[in-house]
Structure 1
Amino acid sequence: RLSKHQWGEELSEQEQVEAETLFQRYGYNAFLSDRLPLNRELPDTRPPRCGKKKYPDDLPTMSVVLIYLNEAPSIIKRAIHSIINRTPDQLLKEIILVDDHSKDLMENLDEYITLVNEEFPGLVKKIRHSEQLGLTQARLSGWKAAVGDVVAILDAHIEVYVQWAEPLLARIKEDRTVILTPVFDKVRFDDLSITPYNAAADAFDWALWCMYESFRPDMWLVLKFNANFQFLFIRSPAIMGILVADRKFFGEIGSLDGGMKIYGGENVELGIRVWLCGGSIEVIPCSKIAHIERAMKPYLPDLGEMVKRNALRVAEVWLDEYKYNVNIAWNLPLENHGIDIGDVSERKKLRERLKCKPFKWYLDNVYPLLDPLHDILSYGALTNDLKPDICVDQGSMPGNTPIVYSCHYYSPQVCSEINCKHTVNLFVDNYNRCLVDTGFGNIPGLYECKLAKEKRFHIMFCLQNGPIQNRETKKCLEIAEDQDGYYKLVVQQCSGQSWKIQNLIKNH
């Protein structure tokens, strides 16, 4: 629930109730959106040199697909308006709306489409699913209906910036095997203001949750020249969901995995598959889109279970001998996890037909920062015998202070023991961060293991069904009750406390 201040002090009580009702329906301030102009100005947040670039005249045409479920009509109208106003007429082939069976039929949106098509005959088309099929199927429906040379598949809660299309189309004109994504700026869900974001690679952890990955210029930043202008792009392991591709190449390489359900994983699967099977993924800094960060997603109140199922499907087809990392990240047994991932036989045949590379090539050449866990001794939730209903947890992010928290067994509480050069390092979460005794006070730290060694922190070591002790300081990781009756993690002289990790792989 948003505060009165966030809705605006000038609103009456009745207007605030209406605003709250719309927020609960859409996950953003639709009350404000309904009162903003469709052609609101956006600041130019591109890198300064982008505005000076000249692009070829003979660029390919683009079909823009907007997918949505239970979206405020004013948001969709603003997306359409910005695309028409900020895309050259000769480049914009069509705008295709894909409604994944929204509850509201939105007659006023249909009226707006009619008005647009009176001015631009046949420009806007609408597809409505007769039942809810999920994000992947909605994207596939839009792609199959498209006729432009290039297809851009976007969320409907976006606005495009000036000259957003030209750098994408120019890059695909040069190389049809690239799948591209613009850079997102964040539109706040409460006041719809814009927070500019810098370009970053679109990546993921072993649970296949998407995240931004800061890039090193020597690794990600690539410059290409031709006779007329310079391309600037970032090689990226995956995409965040919005994609731009040569329409035919997208089909040749397998489009999207139709076996994905509802939400999550399809963008990671696409990224891995494209890299392994002859294409590449790039982020284009000169193409920018403003994207609303919804306060809650429309499909499911808890998307974790569906993301888990889809992640296991990706792992089974593409990750080869590294697929166990996904099981560990989701705290699942390595064998017989009991989750139905659907039939993957056709996707495996696709991999064979495309003569795709092994996943090790991807780790070595595309995403070496994704560090696989080798020589795992045990993994899962880490509990103390004194209080077995609380688990070691990564704590607030960003941050480096682990905590104990009520056990929920998801990735922030998944620990693993790694046998490394005759020592046993204790990791927490999917970021391969080590539990350490920093030497400063009695609060443990949680740091990327390489950084911990550089800072000469003392890495904690674990013994199954025993203490967690540091071999140098001889101190133990233990729990202690504070003055308020809550438990916290401490590093102190060992008192005999014993810890247990859920899944033991190897006796040690």
Structure 2
Amino acid sequence: MKAISAVRDVGGWEVREDLKEKLQDFVDETNAQQPGFIKVVRHTRQEGLIRSRVSGWRAATAPVVALFDAHVEFNTGWAEPILLRIKEDRTRIVSPSFDNIKYDTFEIEEYPLSAQGFDWELWCRYLNPPKSWWNKANSTAPIRSPALIGCFVVDRKYFEEIGLLDEGMEVYGGENVELSVRVWQCGGSVEVLPCARIAHIERAHKPYTEDLTAHVRRNALRVAEVWMDEFKSHVYMAWNIPQEDPGIDIGDISERKALRKRLQCKTFRWYLVNVYSEMRMYTDIMAYGVLKSSVRTDLCLDQGPNTDNVPILYICHGMTPQNVYYTSTQWLHVGVLSPTIDDDDNKCLVDVNSRPRLIECSYATAKRMKLHWLFTQGGSIQNRKSKRCLELVESSESEFGYQLALQKCSGQTWTITHLLTGTSL
């Protein structure tokens, strides 16, 4: 029996002629030399990446299974250090370290060693290795990782015991975060090995579907509802959708909730405190969504060009530049929620010399700038210190006939889309 079974998903939503006869010819030639070395699992319908990987796991027979994208290349000796780590502890799920293959030239680009994490939309991201790893002064030491980017190696039977991948997810996205959170909360661990290197082609586009974001969002909500307890609100806020009646069918999650209960898993707060302490919590947010004035309800507050730090009015579209968050500390965040505590991307609305500006919240706080706003739903937005109100004024220079101004309050009112459950403004 082989020590490891490698599962690669080669599907997508594009018809690829080279995955038909040419692929079968290659499989036949290889198996003629090494009988049974390659198994091809074909679905009668398109199942997406997540269920395809589980199909591969079901076909595997070795005690250790590696689940990878089709568009990776393996470096010499990549498997041995991973097999040793899993032999020492079968509840470890191990990721190799990634280098990049440029999709247009196929050049190899070496990536720095990283842990793997995610943001509040549950998109995966690279992280700096934790301080505990740097303190070892050993570049070959395993890197404790909050999450998996997506390619990993696991004990085949443990993978089944822990619940495989969530087959209720659709197409692509979120399954790596769900698995990572589940493994940590339910007694296992996740790590990245510096001495196991692969190279990954970051494609120009993902071929699964034209509306990939809708599937990633749906899958993220499944993760939130099963595993994230009171922090599920962060996922809804990041995607700018209401927590109550979001209008998105996430499917049946009863089996996943039963799995969590059966495995006697820890809370998501435990995970944030003990595993992903870099993750930034937003427990002070009271309301979120797009911010509209009664003067022009088709225009929304927008962060505008990042380089300008000047908020603008723009036709409402509800995407990230128009995300607004009002906190119990009376701050108005505009734009993306920074995922980790070492990111200083959070921008706050500030009264700077009677002009509305977007300044990094930490900087504005340190400099004691005017960043506190009195706001009630359907009421004015007034700076607590300057007493000026955020209002719309007519402007011939603006594309939409109005621009933002700070001035003496004239009675203009504002509304924000969503209030968090249990809060009132």
- TM-score of the pair, normalised by structure 1: 0.72
Taking the TM superposition and a 5 Å limit, the aligned residue runs for 1:331-370 are 331-370=240-279
Determine if contact 2:350/2:358 at 8 Å carries over to the other structure: yes
Aligned to 1:255: 164
C-alpha displacement of 1:140: 0.3
C-alpha displacement of 1:498: 4.3
Show structure 1 runs of 5+ residues with no match: 1-59, 71-99
Q: What is the CA deviation profile of residues 319-370 of structure 1, one whole-angstrom value per residue up to 9, with x for unaligned ones? A: 1222222222222222222322212121111111111111111111112233
Determine if contact 1:221/1:235 at 8 Å carries over to the other structure: no
SS in 1 for 2:301: strand
Taking the TM superposition and a 5 Å limit, the aligned residue runs for 1:149-164 are 149-164=63-78
Aligned to 1:110: 24
Q: What is the CA deviation profile of residues 247-268 of structure 1, one whole-angstrom value per residue up to 9, with x for unaligned ones? A: 1211111111111111111111
> In structure 1, which of residues 415, 425, 450 is the aligned counterpart of residue 331 of structure 2?
425
SS in 2 for 1:388: coil
Q: What is the CA deviation profile of residues 344-403 of structure 1, one whole-angstrom value per residue up to 9, with x for unaligned ones? A: 121111111111111111111112233333243321112234443343345567996655
Distance 1:245 1:271 in 2: 12
2:2 is equivalent to residue 68 of structure 1: no
SS in 2 for 1:63: strand
Comparing 159-168 with 459-468, greater Cα deviation is found at 459-468
Show structure 2 runs of 5+ residues with no match: 340-345
Q: What is the CA deviation profile of residues 104-132 of structure 1, one whole-angstrom value per residue up to 9, with x for unaligned ones? A: 35312222222333343332221111110
C-alpha displacement of 1:308: 1.7
Distance 1:386 1:253 in 2: 54
Aligned to 1:461: 373
2:30 is equivalent to residue 130 of structure 1: no
> In structure 1, which of residues 350, 372, 395 is the aligned counterpart of residue 281 of structure 2?
372
SS in 2 for 1:257: coil
Q: What is the CA deviation profile of residues 270-302 of structure 1, one whole-angstrom value per residue up to 9, with x for unaligned ones? A: 011000001011122222222111222111112
Taking the TM superposition and a 5 Å limit, the aligned residue runs for 1:483-498 are 483=397, 485=399, 492-493=406-407, 496=410, 498=413
Q: CA separation of 1:347/1:409 partners in 2, compared to 1, >3 Å: closer, same or farther?
A: same
- Let me know the Cα RMSD of the aligned residues: 3.2
Distance 2:297 2:102 in 1: 40
Determine if contact 1:113/1:124 at 8 Å carries over to the other structure: yes
Determine if contact 1:444/1:489 at 8 Å carries over to the other structure: no
2:384 is equivalent to residue 471 of structure 1: yes
Residue identity opposite 2:350 in structure 1: D
C-alpha displacement of 1:412: 4.3
2:312 is equivalent to residue 312 of structure 1: no
Taking the TM superposition and a 5 Å limit, the aligned residue runs for 1:366-405 are 366-394=275-303, 404-405=313-314
Distance 2:193 2:417 in 1: 43
Aligned to 2:148: 239
Q: CA separation of 1:251/1:372 partners in 2, compared to 1, >3 Å: closer, same or farther?
A: same
2:406 is equivalent to residue 499 of structure 1: no
2:171 is equivalent to residue 265 of structure 1: no
SS in 2 for 1:323: helix
Comparing 484-493 with 203-212, greater Cα deviation is found at 484-493
Aligned to 2:343: none
SS in 2 for 1:306: helix
> In structure 2, which of residues 50, 59, 81 is the aligned counterpart of residue 145 of structure 1?
59
Distance 1:399 1:123 in 2: 58
Determine if contact 1:479/1:487 at 8 Å carries over to the other structure: no
SS in 2 for 1:416: strand
C-alpha displacement of 1:145: 1.2
Comparing 172-181 with 152-161, greater Cα deviation is found at 172-181
- TM-score of the pair, normalised by structure 2: 0.85
> In structure 2, which of residues 22, 35, 51 is the aligned counterpart of residue 121 of structure 1?
35
C-alpha displacement of 1:439: 4.6
Distance 1:103 1:391 in 2: 43
Aligned to 2:202: 293
Q: CA separation of 1:466/1:135 partners in 2, compared to 1, >3 Å: closer, same or farther?
A: same
Distance 2:402 2:88 in 1: 57
Percent identical residues: 45
Q: What is the CA deviation profile of residues 85-121 of structure 1, one whole-angstrom value per residue up to 9, with x for unaligned ones? A: xxxxxxxxxxxxxxx8955353122222223333433
Distance 1:459 1:193 in 2: 47
